[in-house]
Structure 1
Protein backbone atom coordinates (compact mmCIF):
# COMPACT_ATOMS: atom_id res chain seq x y z
CA UNK A 1 0.00 0.00 0.00
CA UNK A 2 1.22 3.49 -0.73
CA UNK A 3 -0.19 7.00 -0.53
CA UNK A 4 -2.22 6.52 -3.75
CA UNK A 5 -3.97 3.44 -2.36
CA UNK A 6 -4.47 5.11 1.02
CA UNK A 7 -5.98 8.19 -0.65
CA UNK A 8 -8.33 5.97 -2.64
CA UNK A 9 -9.39 4.07 0.50
CA UNK A 10 -9.95 7.34 2.35
CA UNK A 11 -12.07 8.74 -0.49
CA UNK A 12 -14.30 5.64 -0.31
CA UNK A 13 -14.36 5.46 3.48
CA UNK A 14 -17.80 5.97 5.03
CA UNK A 15 -18.74 6.03 8.68
CA UNK A 16 -21.98 6.72 10.55
CA UNK A 17 -19.99 8.39 13.35
CA UNK A 18 -20.09 12.18 13.00
CA UNK A 19 -16.90 12.79 14.97
CA UNK A 20 -15.03 10.42 12.65
CA UNK A 21 -16.46 11.68 9.37
CA UNK A 22 -15.66 15.27 10.38
CA UNK A 23 -11.96 14.76 9.73
CA UNK A 24 -11.87 12.40 6.72
CA UNK A 25 -11.16 15.31 4.36
CA UNK A 26 -8.13 16.34 6.42
CA UNK A 27 -6.76 12.77 6.09
CA UNK A 28 -7.29 12.91 2.31
CA UNK A 29 -5.55 16.28 2.11
CA UNK A 30 -2.60 15.00 4.14
CA UNK A 31 -1.89 12.19 1.64
CA UNK A 32 -0.53 14.77 -0.83
CA UNK A 33 2.03 16.19 1.63
CA UNK A 34 5.51 14.72 1.01
CA UNK A 35 6.20 14.69 4.77
CA UNK A 36 2.84 13.15 5.75
CA UNK A 37 4.43 9.90 6.93
CA UNK A 38 7.28 11.48 8.89
CA UNK A 39 7.51 12.87 12.42
CA UNK A 40 9.33 15.88 10.97
CA UNK A 41 5.95 17.23 9.84
CA UNK A 42 5.43 19.11 13.07
CA UNK A 43 1.80 20.12 12.46
CA UNK A 44 0.82 16.47 12.33
CA UNK A 45 1.53 13.20 10.54
CA UNK A 46 0.18 9.73 9.86
CA UNK A 47 0.31 7.03 12.49
CA UNK A 48 -1.13 3.52 12.30
CA UNK A 49 -2.83 1.47 14.99
CA UNK A 50 -4.02 -2.05 15.52
CA UNK A 51 -7.36 -2.74 17.19
CA UNK A 52 -6.53 -6.25 18.37
CA UNK A 53 -9.32 -8.62 19.31
CA UNK A 54 -9.35 -12.29 20.24
CA UNK A 55 -10.84 -14.74 17.77
CA UNK A 56 -14.06 -15.18 19.79
CA UNK A 57 -14.59 -11.37 19.88
CA UNK A 58 -14.86 -11.13 23.65
CA UNK A 59 -11.63 -9.22 24.46
CA UNK A 60 -9.40 -6.47 23.11
CA UNK A 61 -5.71 -6.02 23.81
CA UNK A 62 -4.83 -2.60 25.25
CA UNK A 63 -1.59 -1.04 26.41
CA UNK A 64 -1.05 1.36 29.27
CA UNK A 65 1.01 3.84 27.26
CA UNK A 66 4.17 4.95 29.07
CA UNK A 67 4.31 8.54 27.72
CA UNK A 68 0.58 9.29 27.78
CA UNK A 69 -0.36 7.30 30.89
CA UNK A 70 -3.58 6.07 29.29
CA UNK A 71 -4.96 2.72 28.12
CA UNK A 72 -4.88 2.70 24.32
CA UNK A 73 -4.78 0.42 21.31
CA UNK A 74 -1.30 -0.53 20.07
CA UNK A 75 0.28 1.49 17.29
CA UNK A 76 2.81 4.10 16.37
CA UNK A 77 4.53 6.37 13.88
CA UNK A 78 4.90 5.55 10.19
CA UNK A 79 8.48 6.91 10.17
CA UNK A 80 8.42 7.26 6.40
CA UNK A 81 6.67 3.94 5.66
CA UNK A 82 3.67 4.60 3.42
CA UNK A 83 2.23 1.12 3.98
CA UNK A 84 0.15 1.79 7.07
CA UNK A 85 -1.10 -1.80 7.29
CA UNK A 86 2.51 -2.93 7.66
CA UNK A 87 3.13 -0.16 10.21
CA UNK A 88 0.13 -1.29 12.29
CA UNK A 89 1.26 -4.93 12.13
CA UNK A 90 4.87 -4.07 13.00
CA UNK A 91 3.87 -1.87 15.93
CA UNK A 92 1.45 -4.51 17.24
CA UNK A 93 4.17 -7.19 17.15
CA UNK A 94 6.82 -4.93 18.71
CA UNK A 95 4.53 -3.71 21.49
CA UNK A 96 2.95 -7.05 22.38
CA UNK A 97 5.35 -9.79 21.34
CA UNK A 98 2.43 -11.58 19.68
CA UNK A 99 3.22 -13.79 16.70
CA UNK A 100 -0.36 -14.98 16.12
CA UNK A 101 -1.54 -11.64 14.70
CA UNK A 102 -3.77 -11.82 11.63
CA UNK A 103 -5.18 -8.93 9.62
CA UNK A 104 -8.97 -9.30 9.60
CA UNK A 105 -9.54 -6.90 6.70
CA UNK A 106 -7.19 -4.74 4.62
CA UNK A 107 -9.66 -1.87 4.54
CA UNK A 108 -9.56 0.91 7.09
CA UNK A 109 -11.34 -0.03 10.30
CA UNK A 110 -11.32 3.40 11.97
CA UNK A 111 -9.81 6.88 11.73
CA UNK A 112 -8.95 9.26 14.51
CA UNK A 113 -7.31 12.68 14.52
CA UNK A 114 -6.10 13.57 18.00
CA UNK A 115 -3.76 16.03 19.63
CA UNK A 116 -0.49 14.90 21.16
CA UNK A 117 0.66 17.12 24.03
CA UNK A 118 3.90 19.06 23.89
CA UNK A 119 6.97 17.32 25.31
CA UNK A 120 10.58 18.43 25.53
CA UNK A 121 11.86 19.02 21.98
CA UNK A 122 8.49 18.04 20.44
CA UNK A 123 5.73 20.63 19.98
CA UNK A 124 2.06 19.81 20.39
CA UNK A 125 0.88 18.18 17.16
CA UNK A 126 -1.79 15.97 15.59
CA UNK A 127 -1.69 12.27 14.93
CA UNK A 128 -3.74 11.23 11.92
CA UNK A 129 -4.28 7.66 13.06
CA UNK A 130 -5.35 5.04 10.52
CA UNK A 131 -6.55 1.91 12.28
CA UNK A 132 -6.84 -1.70 11.19
CA UNK A 133 -8.48 -4.61 12.94
CA UNK A 134 -6.32 -7.60 13.83
CA UNK A 135 -7.04 -10.77 15.69
CA UNK A 136 -4.73 -12.82 17.88
CA UNK A 137 -4.63 -15.84 20.12
CA UNK A 138 -5.61 -14.64 23.60
CA UNK A 139 -3.58 -17.48 25.17
CA UNK A 140 -0.27 -16.47 23.60
CA UNK A 141 2.11 -14.91 26.15
CA UNK A 142 2.50 -11.12 26.01
CA UNK A 143 5.81 -9.26 26.15
CA UNK A 144 5.68 -5.65 27.32
CA UNK A 145 7.84 -3.24 25.32
CA UNK A 146 9.58 -0.14 26.65
CA UNK A 147 6.68 1.93 25.29
CA UNK A 148 4.22 0.36 27.71
CA UNK A 149 3.69 0.18 31.43
CA UNK A 150 1.34 -2.75 31.04
CA UNK A 151 -0.56 -4.85 28.48
CA UNK A 152 -3.88 -6.54 29.13
CA UNK A 153 -6.63 -8.41 27.38
CA UNK A 154 -9.76 -6.55 28.48
CA UNK A 155 -13.24 -8.02 28.16
CA UNK A 156 -15.49 -5.93 25.95
CA UNK A 157 -17.80 -5.47 28.93
CA UNK A 158 -14.95 -4.03 31.04
CA UNK A 159 -13.40 -1.61 28.53
CA UNK A 160 -15.33 1.42 29.80
CA UNK A 161 -14.39 0.66 33.41
CA UNK A 162 -10.74 0.30 32.41
CA UNK A 163 -10.30 3.32 30.12
CA UNK A 164 -12.97 5.73 31.23
CA UNK A 165 -14.37 7.94 28.51
CA UNK A 166 -12.33 7.74 25.32
CA UNK A 167 -14.68 8.21 22.38
CA UNK A 168 -12.33 6.74 19.78
CA UNK A 169 -11.83 3.47 21.69
CA UNK A 170 -15.53 3.27 22.47
CA UNK A 171 -16.25 3.79 18.77
CA UNK A 172 -13.93 0.89 17.80
CA UNK A 173 -15.52 -1.28 20.46
CA UNK A 174 -18.99 -0.48 19.08
CA UNK A 175 -17.83 -1.16 15.53
CA UNK A 176 -16.47 -4.55 16.63
CA UNK A 177 -19.84 -5.45 18.13
CA UNK A 178 -21.74 -4.43 14.99
CA UNK A 179 -19.38 -5.49 12.22
CA UNK A 180 -20.59 -8.32 10.01
CA UNK A 181 -17.07 -9.14 8.81
CA UNK A 182 -16.24 -10.29 12.30
CA UNK A 183 -18.95 -12.89 12.67
Structure 2
Protein backbone atom coordinates (compact mmCIF):
# COMPACT_ATOMS: atom_id res chain seq x y z
CA UNK A 1 0.00 0.00 0.00
CA UNK A 2 2.00 2.97 -1.29
CA UNK A 3 1.11 6.60 -0.63
CA UNK A 4 -1.22 6.92 -3.64
CA UNK A 5 -3.06 3.70 -2.73
CA UNK A 6 -3.33 4.90 0.87
CA UNK A 7 -4.75 8.23 -0.32
CA UNK A 8 -7.30 6.46 -2.53
CA UNK A 9 -8.22 4.04 0.27
CA UNK A 10 -8.72 6.96 2.65
CA UNK A 11 -10.82 8.87 0.11
CA UNK A 12 -13.04 5.81 -0.36
CA UNK A 13 -13.18 4.88 3.33
CA UNK A 14 -16.67 5.01 4.86
CA UNK A 15 -17.72 4.52 8.44
CA UNK A 16 -21.02 4.75 10.31
CA UNK A 17 -19.16 6.23 13.31
CA UNK A 18 -19.42 10.01 13.36
CA UNK A 19 -16.30 10.57 15.45
CA UNK A 20 -14.26 8.58 12.94
CA UNK A 21 -15.75 10.22 9.85
CA UNK A 22 -14.93 13.73 11.10
CA UNK A 23 -11.20 13.35 10.52
CA UNK A 24 -11.00 11.30 7.29
CA UNK A 25 -10.29 14.48 5.30
CA UNK A 26 -7.39 15.30 7.66
CA UNK A 27 -5.89 11.87 6.93
CA UNK A 28 -6.24 12.42 3.17
CA UNK A 29 -4.68 15.89 3.44
CA UNK A 30 -1.75 14.49 5.43
CA UNK A 31 -0.83 12.11 2.58
CA UNK A 32 0.29 15.18 0.60
CA UNK A 33 2.91 16.13 3.21
CA UNK A 34 6.39 14.73 2.48
CA UNK A 35 7.05 14.32 6.21
CA UNK A 36 3.77 12.55 6.99
CA UNK A 37 5.43 9.19 7.61
CA UNK A 38 8.21 10.31 9.96
CA UNK A 39 8.00 11.17 13.63
CA UNK A 40 10.06 14.31 13.03
CA UNK A 41 6.85 15.94 11.78
CA UNK A 42 6.07 17.35 15.22
CA UNK A 43 2.51 18.47 14.47
CA UNK A 44 1.54 14.86 13.84
CA UNK A 45 2.33 11.87 11.65
CA UNK A 46 1.04 8.51 10.47
CA UNK A 47 1.18 5.39 12.59
CA UNK A 48 0.03 1.86 11.72
CA UNK A 49 -1.82 -0.40 14.14
CA UNK A 50 -3.18 -3.92 14.33
CA UNK A 51 -6.52 -4.82 15.89
CA UNK A 52 -5.67 -8.45 16.59
CA UNK A 53 -8.51 -10.89 17.19
CA UNK A 54 -8.87 -14.64 17.47
CA UNK A 55 -10.69 -16.53 14.70
CA UNK A 56 -13.86 -16.99 16.77
CA UNK A 57 -14.05 -13.23 17.49
CA UNK A 58 -14.22 -13.68 21.26
CA UNK A 59 -10.88 -12.11 22.29
CA UNK A 60 -8.57 -9.28 21.26
CA UNK A 61 -4.87 -8.93 21.98
CA UNK A 62 -4.04 -5.76 23.91
CA UNK A 63 -0.84 -4.38 25.34
CA UNK A 64 -0.33 -2.31 28.46
CA UNK A 65 1.75 0.45 26.87
CA UNK A 66 4.84 1.20 28.95
CA UNK A 67 4.97 4.98 28.30
CA UNK A 68 1.24 5.73 28.27
CA UNK A 69 0.30 3.18 30.96
CA UNK A 70 -2.90 2.33 29.07
CA UNK A 71 -4.23 -0.83 27.45
CA UNK A 72 -4.08 -0.34 23.66
CA UNK A 73 -3.94 -2.18 20.36
CA UNK A 74 -0.48 -3.02 19.04
CA UNK A 75 1.13 -0.61 16.59
CA UNK A 76 3.66 2.11 16.10
CA UNK A 77 5.39 4.76 14.04
CA UNK A 78 5.81 4.41 10.29
CA UNK A 79 9.41 5.65 10.54
CA UNK A 80 9.50 6.49 6.84
CA UNK A 81 7.61 3.43 5.60
CA UNK A 82 4.66 4.63 3.53
CA UNK A 83 3.13 1.15 3.49
CA UNK A 84 1.08 1.27 6.69
CA UNK A 85 -0.14 -2.28 6.10
CA UNK A 86 3.48 -3.41 6.46
CA UNK A 87 3.98 -1.15 9.48
CA UNK A 88 0.96 -2.66 11.26
CA UNK A 89 2.12 -6.23 10.62
CA UNK A 90 5.72 -5.51 11.59
CA UNK A 91 4.63 -3.83 14.84
CA UNK A 92 2.23 -6.68 15.62
CA UNK A 93 5.02 -9.25 15.21
CA UNK A 94 7.58 -7.23 17.16
CA UNK A 95 5.23 -6.42 20.03
CA UNK A 96 3.65 -9.87 20.42
CA UNK A 97 6.12 -12.47 19.17
CA UNK A 98 3.23 -14.13 17.30
CA UNK A 99 3.94 -15.92 14.03
CA UNK A 100 0.35 -16.90 13.17
CA UNK A 101 -0.68 -13.33 12.29
CA UNK A 102 -2.65 -12.86 9.08
CA UNK A 103 -4.66 -9.99 7.65
CA UNK A 104 -8.40 -10.59 7.55
CA UNK A 105 -8.59 -7.93 4.85
CA UNK A 106 -5.92 -5.65 3.37
CA UNK A 107 -8.29 -2.69 3.57
CA UNK A 108 -8.43 -0.08 6.30
CA UNK A 109 -10.33 -1.35 9.33
CA UNK A 110 -10.38 1.80 11.44
CA UNK A 111 -8.94 5.32 11.69
CA UNK A 112 -8.16 7.34 14.75
CA UNK A 113 -6.48 10.67 15.36
CA UNK A 114 -5.38 10.95 18.95
CA UNK A 115 -3.23 13.32 20.94
CA UNK A 116 0.05 12.06 22.37
CA UNK A 117 1.17 13.94 25.49
CA UNK A 118 4.42 15.89 25.66
CA UNK A 119 7.34 13.77 26.80
CA UNK A 120 10.87 15.08 27.41
CA UNK A 121 11.93 16.91 24.23
CA UNK A 122 8.97 15.75 22.11
CA UNK A 123 6.04 18.16 22.15
CA UNK A 124 2.39 17.12 22.32
CA UNK A 125 1.36 15.89 18.86
CA UNK A 126 -1.19 13.85 16.95
CA UNK A 127 -0.94 10.29 15.75
CA UNK A 128 -2.93 9.64 12.59
CA UNK A 129 -3.44 5.95 13.20
CA UNK A 130 -4.47 3.69 10.32
CA UNK A 131 -5.62 0.34 11.67
CA UNK A 132 -5.92 -3.07 10.10
CA UNK A 133 -7.79 -6.19 11.21
CA UNK A 134 -5.49 -9.14 11.90
CA UNK A 135 -6.21 -12.65 13.15
CA UNK A 136 -3.94 -14.81 15.27
CA UNK A 137 -3.98 -18.10 17.12
CA UNK A 138 -4.57 -17.72 20.86
CA UNK A 139 -2.62 -20.86 21.77
CA UNK A 140 0.67 -19.42 20.55
CA UNK A 141 2.99 -18.07 23.28
CA UNK A 142 3.19 -14.28 23.66
CA UNK A 143 6.51 -12.46 23.89
CA UNK A 144 6.51 -9.20 25.83
CA UNK A 145 8.45 -6.37 24.13
CA UNK A 146 10.25 -3.58 25.95
CA UNK A 147 7.46 -1.21 24.84
CA UNK A 148 4.93 -3.05 27.00
CA UNK A 149 4.30 -3.70 30.66
CA UNK A 150 1.89 -6.52 29.85
CA UNK A 151 0.32 -8.28 26.90
CA UNK A 152 -2.86 -10.34 27.07
CA UNK A 153 -5.76 -11.84 25.17
CA UNK A 154 -8.77 -10.02 26.57
CA UNK A 155 -12.30 -11.47 26.29
CA UNK A 156 -14.58 -9.07 24.40
CA UNK A 157 -16.86 -8.72 27.42
CA UNK A 158 -13.92 -7.49 29.56
CA UNK A 159 -12.44 -4.94 27.15
CA UNK A 160 -14.60 -1.99 28.24
CA UNK A 161 -13.66 -2.50 31.90
CA UNK A 162 -9.98 -2.56 30.96
CA UNK A 163 -9.84 0.42 28.58
CA UNK A 164 -12.35 2.67 30.29
CA UNK A 165 -13.75 5.32 28.00
CA UNK A 166 -11.26 4.88 25.15
CA UNK A 167 -13.78 5.37 22.36
CA UNK A 168 -11.46 4.22 19.59
CA UNK A 169 -10.88 0.83 21.25
CA UNK A 170 -14.58 0.48 21.98
CA UNK A 171 -15.35 1.35 18.34
CA UNK A 172 -13.01 -1.38 17.05
CA UNK A 173 -14.52 -3.80 19.52
CA UNK A 174 -18.00 -2.92 18.26
CA UNK A 175 -16.88 -3.41 14.66
CA UNK A 176 -15.59 -6.92 15.38
CA UNK A 177 -18.40 -7.86 17.77
CA UNK A 178 -20.91 -7.27 14.99
CA UNK A 179 -18.72 -9.00 12.43
CA UNK A 180 -20.16 -11.91 10.56
CA UNK A 181 -16.67 -13.07 9.64
CA UNK A 182 -16.26 -16.36 11.45
CA UNK A 183 -13.63 -18.70 10.07
TM-score > 0.5 by shorter chain: yes
Measured against aligned partners, the alpha-carbon deviations of 1:61-105 in whole angstroms (never above 9, x if no partner) come to 000000000000000000000000000000000000000000000
Provide structure 1 residue ranges, at least 5 long, that are not aligned to the other structure: none
Partner residue of 2:166? Answer: 166
Q: 1:83 maps to which residue? A: 83
Q: Is the 8 A contact 1:60 1:155 kept in 2?
A: yes
**What secondary structure sits across from 1:8 in the alignment?**
helix
Query: Which residue is 1:117 aligned to?
Result: 117
Listed as ranges, the matches of 1:27-176 within 5 Å are 27-176=27-176
On the 8 A contact 2:64/2:149 being kept in 1, the answer is yes
Query: How many pairs are equivalent?
Result: 183
Query: What CA RMSD, in Å, does the superposition of the two structures yield over aligned residues?
Result: 0.8
Q: Normalising by the residue count of structure 1, what TM-score does the alignment of the two structures yield?
A: 0.98
Q: TM-score of the superposition, structure 2-length normalised?
A: 0.98
Deviation at 1:181, TM superposition (A): 4.0
Q: Which runs of 4+ in 1 moved over 4 A?
A: none
Contact 2:56 / 2:182 at 8 angstroms: preserved in 1?
A: no
For the 8 Å contact 1:176–1:182, the answer to whether it is kept is no
